[in-house]
Amino acid sequence: MKKGDVVLGGCVLLVAAALLLFPYFLPQGRVVIYVDGTIYGTYRMDRTQTLRVESAFGYNLIEITPEGARVTESSCENKLEIKEGRISHTGQSLVCLPNHLVVAIEGRQDLDGFSY
């Protein structure tokens, strides 16, 4: 082990921490569901709803609550996005690669707040 090893490892850990913590400093946004790269729908997080998203690649059941969004059912094999649990902050996302599905929480893009 050399000093450089520790420095390098530390730097990578810092980048990792920055990527993980960044979403917690952003205001709560909206849930955006993408299928195969295009927007399937945008949903507010102030009421509870369950969505069934079906595409050529498979289907997913997505539950959106004020606490966040999670995938409850999937036709894919590994079900990684279900195990990932709930996401609640802007910048976080759930990805189901086999179904080409992304559930992301994105910041508000509208300018309503500024156009008094």
Partner 1 sequence: MASVTENRIFSCAMLVAVGVLIGYVEHLFSFVIPVPGVKIGLSNLVVLLALMRYTKSEALLIGILKAVLNGLLFSGGMSILYSLLGIVLSVLAMAVCLRLWYPKVLSAVGVSIAGSALFQVGQVAAACLVLTSLAPVYYLGVLLAVSVFSGGAIGGLCQLLLRRVPDHGKPMQGTSGPYNRENGENE
Kindly state the smallest distance separating residue 116's Cβ from partner 1, in Å.
Answer: 32
Kindly state the smallest distance separating residue 86's Cβ from partner 1, in Å.
Answer: 13
Find out whether 42 and 31 touch, Cβ atoms under 8 Å: yes
Kindly state the smallest distance separating residue 82's Cβ from partner 1, in Å.
Answer: 9
CA distance 35 to 3: 46
- The alpha carbon of residue 35 and the mean position of all alpha carbons in its chain are separated, in whole angstroms, by 13
Terminal Cα-to-Cα distance of the chain (whole angstroms) = 60
Which residues form the interface with partner 1 (CB under 8 A)? 1-5, 8-9, 12-13, 15-20, 23, 34, 36-37, 77-78, 80, 83-84, 91-93, 95, 97-98, 100, 102, 104
Closest to partner 1 by CB, 19 vs 47, is 19
Phi/psi of residue 101, nearest 5 degrees: -110, 135
